[in-house]
Amino acid sequence: MDKYLVKPNAKIKLSDWDPEDTSRFDGGKADAKIELIRLNEKLEVLQELLYAEGKRKVLVVLQGMDTSGKDGVIRHVFDGVNPQGVRVASFKAPTPIELAHDYLWRIHQQTPSKGEIVIFNRSHYEDVLVVRVHNLTPKKVWQKRYSQINEFEEMLAAEGTVILKFFLNINLDEQKRRLQSRLDDPSKHWKFSVNDLKERKFWPDYINAYEEVLNKTSTAKAPWYIVPSNHKWYRNLVIGTIIVDTLKGLDMKYPAAEIDPRTIVIE
């Protein structure tokens, strides 16, 4: 999956990354469902091991345009994992209390503890995305945040947090199809917001903002992956595979028993 990795100090253009790509899986959608079940089973075991070992922490960051599938990734990739060791943190518009603190204050409170996986549905990157696109903060302020975010993530990594960041890459036509499906299906009406249409008009500005994020904040300890996401099944396979492979690479071990189990007799 290194094909989707943004190397540190890269100078990428999102126009060079095909959101339709499905080149890392030979099967179709039906076969992908079977493979995703296998990944779910592996992730369930690895997550339990992470929790039992209680040493490492895992932070998964999901970012993308509206309808890119952040909720879908959480629902499908993490299907079956023990909720005791997995938590989702969603970041919407800051509250007055949060605005009274620095922009990373609310983020730091949600970072994972030992043995835990935390999924950020949107994240601290909103403070160099929506803030930039809508001029909510002066440029001289948000420009400093790239280095501040890198230092923040470096500190988390130094304290034992494994960080994986995924940009869910869809194109404008696919977003249109997904928005229309929400209008056509009464069971999806609750997902539709007129604000999505307003934000859609800023697509080029968001692309520019995301490109700068990807170019300036993909580091060895906190890499970005650009995930082709026009096909939901492929998006899920890519992210699931990267997470499973990363957890396998941690070489985790179940903790030794405090006493010799052979000496215990249960009557």
Q: Determine the pLDDT at residue 259.
A: 82
In DSSP notation, 132-148 reads HHTT-S-HHHHTTHHHH
* C-beta of residue 115 within 8 angstroms of C-beta of residue 56: yes
CA distance readout (Å), 111 to 51, 114, 166, 188, 214: 15, 10, 16, 31, 21
Q: What pLDDT shows up at residue 138?
A: 96
pLDDT of residue 161: 98
Per-residue model confidence as pLDDT tens digits over 27-80:
888 899 999 999 999 999 999 999 999 999 999 999 999 999 999 999 999 998
What's the CATH code, domain 2-254?
3.40.50.300
Query: What is the average pLDDT value for the chain, to the nearest integer?
Result: 95
CB 43 within 8 A of CB 243: yes
User: In angstroms, what CA-CA distances link 40 with 65, 119, 156, 166?
Assistant: 25, 16, 26, 18
Parse the chain into domains and list their residue ranges: 2-254
User: Does residue 94 contact residue 137 with C-beta atoms inside 8 Å?
Assistant: no
Length of the chain, in residues: 267
For residue 257, what pLDDT is reported?
81
Instruction: State residue 23's pLDDT score.
Output: 93
The pairing of beta strand 224-228 with beta strand 5-6: antiparallel
Phi then psi for residue 119, to 5 deg, are: -110, 120
Each residue's pLDDT expressed in tens, for the chain with a length of 267 residues? 899 999 998 899 999 999 999 998 988 888 999 999 999 999 999 999 999 999 999 999 999 999 999 999 999 999 989 989 999 999 999 999 999 999 999 999 999 999 999 999 999 999 999 999 999 999 999 999 999 999 999 999 999 999 999 999 999 999 999 999 999 999 999 999 999 999 999 999 999 999 999 999 999 999 999 999 999 999 999 999 999 999 999 999 999 887 887 788 888
How confident is the model at residue 102, as a pLDDT? 97
pTM (2 decimals)?
0.95
